[in-house]
Amino acid sequence: MTKFSDLNLNPKVLKAIEEAGYESPTPIQAGAIPPALEGKDVLGIAQTGTGKTASFTLPMITLLARGRARARMPRSLVLCPTRELAAQVAENFDTYTKHLKLTKALLIGGVSFKEQDKLIDKGVDVLIATPGRLLDHFERGKLLLTGVQIMVVDEADRMLDMGFIPDIERIFSLTPFTRQTLFFSATMAPEIERITNTFLSAPERVEVARQATTGENIEQGVLMFKGSRRDREGSEKRKVLRALIDGEGKKCTNAIIFCNRKTDVDIVAKSLKKYKYDAAPIHGDLDQSQRTKTLDGFRDGTLRFLVASDVAARGLDVPSVSHVFNFDVPGHAEDYVHRIGRTGRAGRDGKAIMICVPRDEKNLSDIERLVQREIPRLENPLGGGKPVEDETAPADATEEKPKRSRSRSRRKDETETVAADAAPVEKAPDEKPARSEAAQDGEKSRAPRNGGDNNNDDTQKRSRGGRGRGRKGNDNNDRGGNTVVGLGDHTPEFIGLSFKERR
Ligand code: AMP
């Protein structure tokens, strides 16, 4: 088996690795470190959890250990799709450079430009950044990328999902042609292939086995759930979620609850809080200081439930997560693997429980095909088949209870989709019902794919179903069988007249 000491890493880096407690390199490290140290471009196909951060950080700092940084001209650049991932890379960097004199700057949104400018002015060896913030600095004329000798692109497929590819291309073009590129992606979508063909030069391709088969140490289950009514599905699903959590009892020390859409992340977190569960949301629209606080709380065990979107939770390294709950079936099968990989890390046992509504059954089949196993079906903890009424709601925690006539509320739903982001969460019983869930459908169909925060576009089904439409027509059936659909209660006289040709 390869040892770290076989890899030609700087002795001070080896010392830091030893102190980190790593015994031997992971497959992506054993594969990527030697060509990277030889100065070759590397195309690493690996996902988080494989040790890929060290696979580019260790050779990078070994190469940078010789030489000095110049003002405003960083010597290397690491691009990450999210602030959290960038911060995580920065932490890794600190761990491994402990015995070296290398400097870094972290350029992410939500942090003042002033502090970041100061660091860049002094000169940094490693710049770790999200693409947008990096370009902001560049455009302000504070940063030169012509000194970049090594450029790392991390989680390229997530960059693609988030629409960062044009930024990445621009950044590539601002760095010297002679730079070394270390490029990592979990999957090789055609667009990613195109970028690597354009910007990488004869790369060494290192692929580690995809985590397509999910770890044996993660117990999985799916609850097939059908709401009693479409407009109640959201609140009933939230109730089922609470019952599933309760069913796990003390075994559930902490959990990440994944939702497909940001609006649902907010709604589920708010609902759980209202029912006295220790929960907080994390997604891309939240303020950075709040995201950091939430994440820190989850990491140090003071927050029990993290309700997350795929983008925000992607790549996060929280060593012990006892449970993952998929409030929604992810629309992309690989996301299921990423999500449940948050539990059962480092050889621990984990449990992943998912709720599947009828319209997500196709996505469930895709997941089962990818992981090559049938996910065991779970019993509804609230009793099979029985509609899930929200009877246990505490006095201060009422969920939506539809009351008005169906045709009216449905028509409203179909015109009020824009209000999705501001949808009320737990409504007082006498408020207008059924808006938030249907409104979110509008959100689904409106928003582009951005890394899993929207999914399952079912607007077609909705319009096909046409619930609430044409009822007036039916109501007119008592007019001697001459049903007129769509004219309301009044049928103008001329409709009944026969036509005569005019001569
Ligand atoms: P990553 O895929 O970079 O997010 O790394 C996942 C986790 O594996 C992190 O907690 C690392 O600290 C840890 N790790 C990285 N390399 C090794 C190694 N060679 N041995 C043991 N753990 C490692």
Nearest CA to ligand 1 atom 5: 51
Q: Do 4-207 and 218-393 fold alike per CATH?
A: yes
Report whether 76 contacts 147 (CB < 8 A): no
Q: Which amino acid is at 429?
A: P
What was the pLDDT predicted at 347?
A: 59
Structure confidence at residue 408 as a pLDDT band (50, 70, 90): very low
User: pLDDT tens-digit profile of 246-270?
Assistant: 999 999 999 999 999 999 999 999 9
345 lines ligand 1 (CB under 6 A): no
Sign of CA dihedral 489, 493, 494, 496: positive
Q: What is the pLDDT of residues 100-129, one digit of tens each?
A: 999 999 999 888 888 899 999 999 999 999
Give pLDDT tens digits for 449-468: 333 333 332 222 323 233 33
**DSSP-derived 3-state class of residue 415:** helix
Residues 353 and 347: their CA atoms lie apart, in Å, by: 19
Cα separation, 86 vs 259, whole angstroms: 23
Return the pLDDT at 418: 25
Please work out whether the CB of residue 51 comes within 6 Å of at least one atom of ligand 1.
yes
CA-closest residue to ligand 1 atom 13: 51
| Cβ of residue 10 lying under 6 Å from some atom of ligand 1 | no
Q: How is the chain split among helix, strand and coil, in percent rounded to 5?
A: 45, 15, 45
Given ligand 1 and candidates 23, 53, 128, which is best to mutate, with the most ligand atoms within 8 Å of its CB? 53
**DSSP 3-state of 481:** coil
In this structure, which CATH number among 3.40.50.11600, 3.20.20.70, 3.40.1710.10, 3.40.50.300 belongs to the domain 218-393? 3.40.50.300
Residue 31 CA to ligand 1 center (angstroms) comes to 15
CB 321, CB 330: distance < 8 Å: no
Ligand 1 centroid – CA 112 distance (Å): 30
Distance 52 CA to ligand 1 centre (A): 7
Instruction: Judge if the beta carbon of residue 57 lies within 6 A of ligand 1.
Output: no
For 469, which DSSP code? Answer: S
Q: Does any ligand 1 atom lie closer than 6 A to the CB of residue 22?
A: yes
Q: What is the pLDDT of residue 323?
A: 94
For residue 345, name the pLDDT band (cuts at 50, 70, 90): low
In angstroms, the CA 109 to CA 112 distance is 8
pLDDT at residue number 451: 35
27 Cβ inside 6 Å of ligand 1:
no
- Cα diameter, the chain: 105
Separation of CA 208 and ligand 1 centre (Å)? 14
Q: What H or E segment, with its residue span, contains residue 351?
A: strand 350-356
Ligand 1 site, residue 294, Cβ cutoff 6 A: no
Give dist(CA 366, CA 434) in Å, integer.
30
pLDDT of the residue at 161 = 83
Mutate to test the pocket of ligand 1, among 78, 314, 317, 342 (most ligand atoms within 8 A of CB): 317
Distance of CA 170 to the CA centre of its chain: 25
Q: What is the CA radius of gyration of the chain?
A: 27
Q: Under CATH, which architecture does the 4-207 domain have? A: 3-Layer(aba) Sandwich (3.40)
Mean pLDDT, to the nearest integer, of 146-160? 94
- Is 317's C-beta closer than 6 angstroms to any atom of ligand 1? yes
Q: How far apart are CA 70 and CA 75, in angstroms?
A: 8
Range 47-69 average pLDDT: 91
Q: What is the pLDDT of residue 286?
A: 85
- Domain layout of the chain by residue ranges: 4-207, 218-393, 417-496
Cβ neighbours for 344, distance < 8 A, ≥ 6 positions apart:
215, 217, 218, 350
